Amino acid sequence: MKSVKAWRVGNVGDLQILSGSRHRPHLKRPMWIIVLVTMVVLFLVCAYMYPPHTRGACYVFSSRGCQFEWLPPSPVRELTDNEIASRVVIRDILNTPAVRSKNSKVAFLFLTPGPLPFEKLWDKFFHGHEGRFSVYVHASRDKPVHFSRYFINREIRSEQVVWGRISMVDAERRLLANALKDPDNQHFVLLSDSCVPLHDFDYVYNYLMYSNMSFIDCFEDPGPHGNGRYSEHMLPEVELKDFRKGAQWFTMKRQHALIVMADSLYYSKFRDYCKHGVDGKNCIADEHYLPTFFHMIDPGGIANRSVTHVDWSERKWHPKSYKRSDVSYDLLKNITSVYLSEHVTSDEQRTVLMRPCLWNGIRRPCYLFARKFRLDTLDNLLNLFSNYTTL
């Protein structure tokens, strides 16, 4: 006789007697486990048949590493000898650590046809900060008569400049070349004869000298006054996808100034093919050369905005000119309180592109300078200078 075992379940009085020849009750199958296993198997089969096309996913599913046939080769075409030489020089300049001078200065580059109508205002701006700035004047038409000691004998050899032509870029490069001769010049500002300062010298100096990038205006305009000016004659070095537009009024670090002077390849493309009449278009070199050049060679090193305010609200070929009755404390306060940069495309959509103005990742006012101011505004600006530059 087989032994009998007793299992206590529930109350003391309820006993279940189980013999050696027990009958097990029917158990329900765990359906959720079956469904889960089926889904995993299907997922792995699909991953094998249709491999992942992202770098992160390949490390999860591929045991052979991340070598994808669908990734475009880099570069996508064979570079010309001139491109190779240009990129080597640019790479070495960018990779060379910046050498901070013990007496670092900001170089102010004035591009003017003749006299500087706001020289007295700039004299007030520079006063008391000797040794922290330098001045260079490119007077393309008439030799100016100076009233400020900071401008006397600061003219460089100049040539005629025609608006919208490569001669404008040539004048910018000429100013940079002369300013680069002084190793203490660490940041370079391009200004016109109608530009005025919006802040005091210390504010401008610190804003520029301690910035981690150059302030070069740059955006993509798909309209007729942007990509519509592109010429395929710029191929293969300059492609349509890289063509950019921006205001010419830049500020740039010394490394970037050196790159501009070292460049001959991309400059020659704009000299020859970004001008009036090529392919029946009217390409303006000073609006496209530097934005395109820096977008191609160091896009992360520029702020994609200018620090010089210009009012294009009238939608004409030239920006609004401020007259005497326009200049007030409120006007200048409004300009210095702008925290968003704005670009408008020239296509039918007239898309407004807005982005915050960042300085080393911190939101800051966009503008240090403004233009275009007429000569009759000088007295008002001199009277307001001490007030609005402390905003």
What local confidence, expressed as pLDDT, does residue 34 receive? 74
CA angle 318, 322, 326 (to 5 degrees): 145
What local confidence, expressed as pLDDT, does residue 49 receive? 57
What local confidence, expressed as pLDDT, does residue 100 receive? 78
Say if residue 134's pLDDT is above 80: yes
pLDDT: is 100 or 167 the higher one? Answer: 167
Say if residue 3's pLDDT is above 60: no
Say if residue 390's pLDDT is above 70: no
Q: Which one of 26-40, 56-70, 257-271 scores highest in mean pLDDT?
A: 257-271
Strand 105-112 to strand 133-139: parallel, antiparallel, or no bridges (unpaired)? parallel
Say if residue 7's pLDDT is above 90: no
Q: Which residue has the tokens 């008439």?
A: 142
Strands across the sheet with 196-197, in order?
196-197, 369-370, 308-309
Per-residue pLDDT tens digits for 222-234: 999 999 999 999 9
Give the whole-angstrom CA distance, residue 289 versus residue 269.
9
280 pLDDT band, cuts 50/70/90, is confident
> Please, are residues 148 and 119 in contact by the beta-carbon 8 Å criterion?
yes
pLDDT: is 246 or 48 the higher one? Answer: 246
What local confidence, expressed as pLDDT, does residue 46 receive? 61
Say if residue 73's pLDDT is above 70: no
Cα–Cα distances in angstroms (integers) from residue 245 to residues 226, 254, 286, in the given order: 6, 22, 9
> Please, are residues 106 and 77 in contact by the beta-carbon 8 Å criterion?
no
Give the whole-angstrom CA distance, residue 252 versus residue 308.
13
Within the chain, where are the H helices?
31-49, 55-61, 81-95, 119-126, 166-180, 201-209, 254-262, 265-273, 285-297, 329-336, 378-388
Say if residue 8's pLDDT is above 50: no
pTM attached to this predicted model: 0.79
29 pLDDT band, cuts 50/70/90, is low
Max CA-CA distance within the chain? 130
Q: How many CA atoms lie within 13 A of 255 on its CB side?
A: 21
